[in-house]
Amino acid sequence: MEFSTTVYDSTHHSSFYPRESQAHGLSVAELTLFINRLLSTLELEELGTLYFQQLNALLPVAGLSLTDFDSRWVFGNAKISSTLIDLPLQGSASSSGEQAHAYYYISSPLSLSQREILFQLHDLFGKQAKHAVSHLRMKGMATKDALTGLGNRIAFEQSMMRQRSWAQRRDEPFSLLVLDLDNFKQVNDNFGHSEGDRVLAHVATHLVNVLRDEDEPFRFGGDEFCCILDCQTDQQLSCAAERIKTSISTSEYLAKLGVSCSLGGALYRIGDSTNSMFDRADSALYKVKNSGKNDYQAA
């Protein structure tokens, strides 16, 4: 079987590809692993899973199986040879606008009818995959705050539901921090709304940078943010809060505008609803607000 090196060179993901010497006779498991790794970098796992699962299930109907092909997805253009079928996947453009293709390297000649079946299956599942991608994009838009890129209130509610059910099953608490900016209104009043927007985006970047991967920041609304944290004790929660406070208070940009932050935190208690946990953290926050701001209190 011949491999076109142009295909390898034309991708941005060459490190994910099996070396040429390994590329013959890939097992379905290896192929799936490889596809999943590639797709996970493109944030299109669902698309790939849907497409290949369904295609895989139906290929035997046509007397074919994935072991007949060395199939892979790449972005960009590739040269098509007699040993290659290139099927662009509609609606799968990457963020840079390139489209995903499924390439089938054919180890043995296909009959015309086999090719025809492959094209039809691709067409059918490609369309479904396209819908899946649109759905994911819409879901992303519905749960993201457009200004900061953080999860919005809907995402917060969803995440709290997951965390609470996990905490109940595992009997492991988690934590919630509520953060409200101090003196934010004066930025809008003195420098305009767009400067205020810049401050909100700046704070969001600080949260993303300072939190661990397993912790999640959200914009709750206005100048209020929430963080769901993998902290299981008051001490861990207080450490995380201090890290955030230090990060915000050492920003020269925010200091120049006179903006700091107040924080309230609550640890999950068995039987807590999202509201009861939020209310505890929020009352701690308002105690801080009423006693001079720019500090942290636990509930």
Ligand X SMILES: Nc1nc2c(ncn2[C@@H]2O[C@H](COP(=O)(O)OP(=O)(O)OP(=O)(O)O)[C@@H](O)[C@H]2O)c(=O)[nH]1
Chain contacts with ligand X (rule: CB under 6 A) = 147, 180-186, 188, 193, 196-197, 200, 222-223, 289
CA dihedral over 86, 88, 92, 97, signed as positive or negative: positive
**DSSP of 203-256:** HHHHHHHHS-TT-EEEEEETTEEEEEE---SHHHHHHHHHHHHHHHHT-HHHHH
Nearer CB in complex with ligand X: 85/261 = 261
Residue 186 or 190 with smaller CB distance to ligand X: 186
Rounded to a whole number of angstroms, the minimum distance from the CB of residue 223 to ligand X is 5
- Residue 189 C-beta: closest distance to ligand X, Å: 8
Minimum CB distance to ligand X smaller for 156 or for 184: 184
> What SS3 state is found at 46?
helix
H/E stretch holding 11: none
**Which tokens go with 234?**
């008051």
Least CB distance from residue 178 to ligand X, whole Å?
12
Q: Which is nearer to ligand X, 84 or 199 (CB)?
A: 199
Residue nearest to ligand X (CB): 196
Taking the complex as a whole, how short is the minimal distance between the CB of residue 257 and ligand X, in angstroms? 11
Q: How far is the CB of 51 from ligand X (least distance, A)?
A: 39
Whichever of 197 and 230 has its CB closer to ligand X, that residue is 197
What whole-number distance in Å separates Cα of residue 177 and Cα of residue 215? 11
CB of 66 to ligand X, least distance (A): 49
194 close to 187: Cβ distance less than 8 angstroms: no
The gap from C-alpha 16 to its chain's centroid, in whole angstroms, comes to 20
Q: Which is nearer to ligand X, 126 or 217 (CB)?
A: 217
Contact in structure between 243 and 177 (CB atoms under 8 Å) = no
Site of tokens 């879901």: 139
Beta bridge partners of 209: none
